[in-house]
Structure 1
Amino acid sequence: MTVGTAPRRIFDADLPTLSYSPDESPAEVYPRFQAAQRQAPVAIGPIGPEVLSYHLVRSVLRDDRFQIPPGIVLQAQGVTSGPLWDKVVNSLLCVEGETHRRLRGLCSKAFTPRTVARLHEAMVGVMNDLVDEVVDAGRCDVVADLARPYPVPIICALLGAPREDWQQFSSWADDIFKAFSFTADIRQLEPVVMRAWLELDDYVDDMVAHRRHNLTDDLLSDLIRAEDDGDRLDAAELRMLAGGLLLAGTDTTRNQVAASVQVLCEHPDQWELLRAHPDLAMQAVEETMRHSPIAGGTLRLVVDDVELGGYIFPAGTMVLVNTAAANRDPTVYDNPDRVDITREGAPAILTFGGGVHYCLGANLARREIAEALNVLTARLRNPRRAGPAPWKPVVSLSGPLTLPIEFD
């Protein structure tokens, strides 16, 4: 937009168009993102306006007139009521306004740097145990053997669940997460999802009842302790938050660990650099998530007419906030397609969102991935791809379906 130009409705602004199919991977679609981004900060994509530039994406994420559409995955399949709908729309991810502010404020009192720091040994121990299983073979599938089993034991340690229950938590997470997939048949899977979710609820209720009389050094105890001007979380809220942490921290971490490992394997100089300088681990996380994020965007619903960036977004418009494109905006990142774990002076990636819905577990996720990368670069020499590594579609939570590697 030129200086002095009157704002135009987003649908009348002669914007570039973007097209991609539901089965295309991020790597296949990235060139189209970049071509559209060179023309304008917004394009018209398959579902409507798609915000592409770093600065406009950041502005939308911080603007409460752009809200998360409640239960959008369920709505897409015609589910707008019932037990599963109630579960999803009352989660911390979907609630807005004062309810969201209150819950997040109480959670933030428990989700502190100390919470993350006390999980260091668990993170390192779990990944070392997984590497022990494959190191003698000289080859493995990063997805199946390392990334997939990694996060659930850590979430369990975070909540204070015993080691013998890790596999049960993993099974619950797998089943419940089906409710958040655009590619799943929700109506057919709803009984499976609800059975797993209710079993998890019962388990958490038992944990809460026990913790109230035996507070320990874990997040669930910290959530029970959390207080804000006399306000505390009730049993239903504790249940919702504990279950939400399991869901939010499982598939995302699994997929990003595999994606970050793939990036470093395909840039062996960066693998060796991290091996020699493990203090670069957090920068390696930031750079690999910038270059190859497994979450490429988020949907927002415009609740009031909004003038932003020289455009008018009408109320009721569904907007895709394309954080993947923003993370490679050439006006913000020098040589954005290059992978450089020593990159300096760049702004924070937008993969974790922004504003009131900025990911509550972002620091935990970063630390989990960093510890995994440090263990892997220290123990696996000269890793290289040993076969195809197809990715899941860009329209869902992406990441490698499989990542076979060989190593010395």
Structure 2
Amino acid sequence: MTLTSTAPNVFEAGLPTFTYGLTATPHDILDDLRTAQSCAPIAIGPLGPEILSYSMARELLRDNRFRLPPGITLAAQGITSGPLFDKLTSSLLGLNGAPHIRLRKLVSKAFTPRATSRLQDTIREVMNGLIDHVVDAGRCDVVPDIARPYPTPIICALLGAPPEDWPLFVAWTEEIFKAFNFQPDVNFDESAIMRAWGELDDYVDGMVAERRHNLTDDLLSELIRAESDGDRLNLDELRMLAAGFLMAGTDTTRNQLAASVQVLCEHPDQWETLRDHPDLAMQAVEETMRHSPAASIVPRAATEDVEFGGYLFPEGTFILVNTFAANRDPAIYDDADRFDITREDAPAILTFGGGAHYCLGANLARRELAEALVVLTRRLSAPRLVGPAPWKSLLGMTGPTTLPIEFASERL
């Protein structure tokens, strides 16, 4: 569609530009973002326009003329067709329009407080178990010792998989995650990913068959129960959703947990505040995700010629909604670079996205992170970084790759 518009083309409007490498972290580009943000709400980055202002980012995420490019992570690795590409694009993240609205409507009926509130004991048990393995040593690497193994058992419990099978899910997710990575993976093997995904599908098929005769209170049972105007989820959809929840609910949480622990360690007064006031846990989650988010960008593409924010975005324009910049917009947040878990009346963060693809599991993720931070601040006293904590690229799921800390004796 060609739009007749007097708005300047976004590429020809004299907007600020900045460049960064594909391995750049959010912290690497912060100064350049600040400079660009002071000049305009949009900048031209190395991959195209980047939305930097909070208000414009929030609006664009809700505008259906901009959509998530299907299979974008595989396309970044040079794969634009084939069985794996088809499988990824038929997932909930890959759908748009009426099919996506239908599935969201059914899934939202299943994602009830009842399905998630029962996980509180499991969450605490998992986190306490991980800390038990390191507390006597007085040191650990948060990434492999705590953050990485933390979320998978919780998602498995949510779905209703028994503990003895959780190691299977760990192995499957490690392999399948490679299809969701923006950065080329030297160990990428499409056949191995499809094999792991097939094994996961077979397992879920067995779970569904069992639940149809014996519904319980887990999420999979809730998905089977879910109905809207006589419409129900079929087996293919149940299988796709189970895998989707496992993928979406694992990598995001493990990376954000490590990022949240790091920023709290770097601000000892905030660690102590949370330790002494565990009722601030949800605020701590919001502030760590605002200040140090594991998800820093949201890709979108213009589905037609679009006039937005006073600029013309030609059809097919690839856009990055830079939520890292938006969450630190000084026009919205007072002293935006300050980390303060007691911050009040702050606008909602954009880290969970927005619009039609707003994260379905946002409330569960908040609960997982809040419970984890409460247990960590209670049991680990005066933690401090004792080595480098490099981050992954912001073009994808970011966060520290390693986070070595030392801490005092367990607080009774």
- Scaled to the shorter chain, the TM-score interval is over 0.9
Cα offset, 1:393, TM superposition: 1.3
Distance across 2 between alignment mates of 1:61 and 1:74: 22
Aligned to 1:344: 344
Distance across 1 between alignment mates of 2:231 and 2:25: 45
**CA contact 2:76–2:184 (8 Å) conserved in 1:** no
**2:139 is aligned with 1:103:** no
Aligned to 1:182: 182
Aligned to 2:69: 69
Distance across 1 between alignment mates of 2:47 and 2:264: 33
**Aligned CA distance change for structure 1 residues 31 and 133 (closer, same or farther; 3 Å):** same
Letter in 1 for 2:46: P
Instruction: Tell me the number of residue pairs that the alignment of Structure 1 and Structure 2 aligns.
Output: 404
Q: Unmatched 5+ residue regions in structure 1?
A: 1-5
**2:126 is aligned with 1:133:** no
Cα offset, 1:187, TM superposition: 9.6
The correspondence of residues 69-88 of structure 1 with structure 2, limited to 5 A, is 69-88=69-88
The correspondence of residues 155-166 of structure 1 with structure 2, limited to 5 A, is 155-166=155-166
**CA contact 1:179–1:186 (8 Å) conserved in 2:** no
Q: Taking structure 1 as the reference length, what is the TM-score of the superposition?
A: 0.97
Letter in 2 for 1:396: G
Identity %: 67
Cα distance per residue 1:380-404 (max 9 Å; x no partner): 1100011111111122211111101
**Aligned CA distance change for structure 1 residues 186 and 207 (closer, same or farther; 3 Å):** farther
**2:397 is aligned with 1:390:** no
**CA contact 2:326–2:350 (8 Å) conserved in 1:** yes
Aligned to 1:212: 212
Aligned to 1:231: 231
Aligned to 1:273: 273
**CA contact 2:256–2:293 (8 Å) conserved in 1:** yes
Instruction: State the secondary structure of the residue aligned to 1:63.
Output: coil
Instruction: State the secondary structure of the residue aligned to 1:250.
Output: helix
Letter in 1 for 2:261: V
Cα offset, 1:78, TM superposition: 3.0
**CA contact 2:178–2:188 (8 Å) conserved in 1:** no
Instruction: State the secondary structure of the residue aligned to 1:383.
Output: strand
Aligned to 1:170: 170
Cα offset, 1:185, TM superposition: 4.3
**CA contact 1:264–1:271 (8 Å) conserved in 2:** yes
Cα offset, 1:76, TM superposition: 2.6
Letter in 1 for 2:176: I
**Aligned CA distance change for structure 1 residues 336 and 177 (closer, same or farther; 3 Å):** same
Distance across 2 between alignment mates of 1:61 and 1:381: 40
Cα distance per residue 1:68-97 (max 9 Å; x no partner): 100012223332221101110000001000
Distance across 1 between alignment mates of 2:32 and 2:291: 16
* Aligned structure 1 segments of 4 or more residues deviating by more than 6 angstroms: none
Structural RMSD (CA): 1.3
Aligned to 1:154: 154
Distance across 2 between alignment mates of 1:293 and 1:70: 24
The correspondence of residues 9-408 of structure 1 with structure 2, limited to 5 A, is 9-185=9-185, 188-408=188-408
**Aligned CA distance change for structure 1 residues 55 and 322 (closer, same or farther; 3 Å):** same
**Aligned CA distance change for structure 1 residues 188 and 402 (closer, same or farther; 3 Å):** closer
Instruction: State the secondary structure of the residue aligned to 1:167.
Output: helix
